[in-house]
Structures are given as C-alpha cells and as structure tokens.
Chain A
C-alpha cells in the first residue's frame, strides 16, 4: 500500500491484490470479506488499515 493509499483508506478494512494495492475498501469488515470471495483463492488478502501508533484496546 502506498502512503497516499494508506491515507485514503485509513481506519477501513481493505482488500489488497498480490502487489499490495488496494482494490476495495469499506468500514464494514463483512463487505470486504464478501468482495474478497469474488476473487480466486490467494489472489487477495484482507487487512485493517490502522493508523500509526495504534493501540487496539
């Protein structure tokens, strides 16, 4: 993910292709999971685009 992409999708769940480029993002995890299932297995990966210095609890 490039720095610009990181900013655009900050805080969202993102679907990444093999080159680590964002091909879909949404704040709802399940929408990203469903979109990911449209692609062949191992072609995409889901990640939460967290800001730097994040603490999760």
Chain B
C-alpha cells in the first residue's frame, strides 16, 4: 500500500487519491558527488520546512534525522529499546513519526506519519529503504550525477 498523496500546487493541497510521481533529480558535479533528493518536512501542525537536499542511503532501514530537527518539528521522540547497528558499531537511537514530501517545482508527493530514526549526532538527513525504496525503483546514475525515481509497478 502506498503512503503518499500527490500534490501539484504551491500550497501542497492534498488530492483525494494517492499516486506516485516519476522524478529525476540532478545533484552536484563537485566532490563528494553524493546522490541527493529534495525533501521537505512538516511539523506537527503542518508547517513545512524549507527543502532539504538529503542523502540516499540504501544501507539504512529508514529515514534518519538529527535530533535537533526532530525537536524543531515538535515530533515525539521515543528511545529505542535496543541500540542500532552502524558501520561504526552500536549506538543509541530514538524513533519518531512524521510527515514529509519529496519533489520540487510544484511536483511533490506527500508522505504521512512515517517512522523515522532519530540520532543525537549532527548528521545529514539520510534516506533509507522505508518508505521510498519500497515505493520506487531508484536508479543512481553517478556518471550523470542523476537520481531517477520510477514508481513501482502494482502487482
């Protein structure tokens, strides 16, 4: 089941039906040339942040945000019972739920009440598997500094 509502106006008005949009995002050609996608977060009373260029991270289970951002958005932050495993070892983390949209230029797909991982570290926002990799075939075309998101085919 998709978790998204497509929006097409500058006011992010929700449409009555849900669907995904195809996106192509071009990221910088200067090092470190990390694949980025534009996301906007919404606080608990639906105020949007400016857009963020967030890092695609297929090695992460879910979206990971720094605690400072979660607190600014007034999200409820709950400690995880167990530490999370990272490339650098185990670390404490928290869980929250929040809204975001992906896209730009008036073409955005809104996601509601998505579980996110919160960490105390001042890291960039990381876009893990859930929910975007579940909904899209994501192709990183590093030779053109391009990320292409193609909505998955319904079975």
Contact = CB atoms under 8 A, between A and B. Distances in A.
Interface residues of B, number: 33
Given A50-B124, A57-B87, A45 B51 contact: yes
B91 A6 contact: no
Decide if the interface of chain A is mainly helix, strand, loop or mixed. Answer: loop
Nearest to B53: A47
B52 interface: yes
A57 B28 CA distance: 23
Given A46-B52, A48-B123, A57-B86, A3 B38 contact: no
Interface residues of A, number: 30
Interface in B74-92: 86-88, 91
Interface in A2-57: 2-3, 6, 15-16, 20, 27-30, 33, 36-37, 39, 41-42, 44-48, 50-57
Interface of B: 10, 28, 30-32, 34, 36, 38, 48-53, 55, 57, 66, 68-69, 72, 86-88, 91, 104-106, 121-126
13 contacts: A3-B30, A29-B68, A29-B72, A30-B69, A39-B50, A42-B104, A44-B50, A45-B53, A46-B50, A46-B52, A47-B36, A48-B125, A57-B87
